[in-house]
Chains A and B, each alone.
Chain A
């Protein structure tokens, strides 16, 4: 008897990617929380803390420009973390068990959902950017800056997705949803979210310096912050931070995947 040939990897990944995109088309308002929350934070935070730009050391006089990349990352991160919630639901409902017995490499089962998260994340990131520009944010970084912003968003979404997947594979319940979202929340806010590093005080200054998301934000801010022109010096640390976080969380997700079904 001959062994059936394993299906090729790419079509499997694409099929799972399409399936995860169906969430957006079939579930009414699926993207609303991930889109509206960052917009509310963008407008609220810039209205509350706008006068901080008057402090010595603030690189721009537009607080909106400072906060837009943060909100874009936040939206992309929430969209990525939703990958974990969806996976937890699939595990609870038994669908993921069926995928585990399919003759495909297990890591491939994660590629489609992560790609789906990345695709979905473009919606909140773009909506936040457009709202920010509409209410007065600047775009001094031009096309190169925009590319840097989207690379940061896409990369951060993938990382948030891996974090969500790791949580889902560890707890195997949708009740871990708040942990996935708040992991993203913490990662973003324990950085130079509100003010540049020189203006941070106390414990947050040290934490933000060590937090790789600080460098991802610097990468993203090349689009909108006039003091951070697109350059290798502002890009490379962010890219390295993304690669490092991707490797660490990807490794954890693979460990969790290996434990499934044992």
Chain B
């Protein structure tokens, strides 16, 4: 690809990313699950289970709210990714995607543009969650750099989940299917130590957590925000998030090629 071509494709990616974000913010009902639901769960879990700090094996953390905020951030990333797939399926079902296919742009840019919107959404979400939690008493001893790392890890994770959701949307083109896989996203969340330390999970869940990439991401975010490296390794989190994003973006690109081949 020439330099001019790369610039043109970059513009396409930015334009599609902006469109994905503006659609999200124009329809308030789409914001409810992505912005409000994780905060509601955070508020309820923070108040409903904070007695867990009295358990002998619970790590000594200054703020229980700060301990569980990483679970909320990753939940937001999951929902942002799923929203991407839902919007993708809507574009396919209502014919907008067919019009994009007729445009003289690289097909991969169509997928990457959509995922760029996911990145933007995730950054906004994570920032929002961190600010709200801070207002309610969470403190982040890891400092500004830790917050940046947490937001970046969440954004890459959202990209990864967006890749899976986009692949499903491209394979099926079904909006209703994407809407109904919402509960399965929570399987990924609950098989990671999202709200509780890994050592205190039920044995079966603890075993499953070892194979869930979100485990390493959520622990990395927790380690960063609390400033306690024993709670999570940032490099393991980064490797898990990037690995997930690379594999699922490849899946989405493959699904696009399959769709074009069979169309």
Q: How far is the CA of A48 from the CA of B184 in the complex (A)?
A: 16
Q: Which residue of A lies closest to B190 (CB)?
A: A44
CB within 8 A of B44: which of A54, A179, A204?
A204
Enumerate chain B residues within 8 angstroms of A200, measured Cβ to Cβ. Answer: 47-48, 51
B1-43 to A contact mask, C-beta < 8 Å, 1/0:
0000000000000000000000000010100110011001101
Q: Is A45 an interface residue (CB 8 A)?
A: yes
Enumerate chain A residues within 8 angstroms of B45, measured Cβ to Cβ. Answer: 194
A199 with B190: in contact, given A40-B183, A189-B41 (CB under 8 Å)? Answer: no
Q: Is B194 an interface residue (CB 8 A)?
A: yes
Number of interface residues of B (CB under 8 A): 40
Q: Is A105 an interface residue (CB 8 A)?
A: no
Q: Which residue of A lies closest to B41 (CB)?
A: A189
Enumerate chain B residues within 8 angstroms of A32, measured Cβ to Cβ. Answer: 180
A195 with B186: in contact, given A48-B195, A179-B32 (CB under 8 Å)? Answer: no
A40 pairs with B186, CB closer than 8 A: yes
Q: How far is the CB of B26 from chain A (nearest CB, A)?
A: 12
Q: Which of A32, A47, A189 has the most chain B CB within a 10 Å cutoff?
A: A47
Q: Is A6 an interface residue (CB 8 A)?
A: no
Enumerate chain B residues within 8 angstroms of A202, measured Cβ to Cβ. Answer: 46-47, 50
Q: Is A33 an interface residue (CB 8 A)?
A: yes
CB within 8 A of B37: which of A29, A52, A185, A205?
A185
Enumerate chain B residues within 8 angstroms of A203, measured Cβ to Cβ. Answer: 47
Apart from A48-B194, A51-B52, what are 6 other A-B pairs with CB-CB below 8 Å?
A32-B180, A33-B183, A44-B186, A48-B202, A51-B57, A189-B48
Which of B's residues lie within 8 Å of A, judged by CB? 27, 29, 32-33, 36-37, 40-41, 43-52, 54-55, 57, 179-180, 182-184, 186-187, 189-191, 193-196, 200-202, 204-205
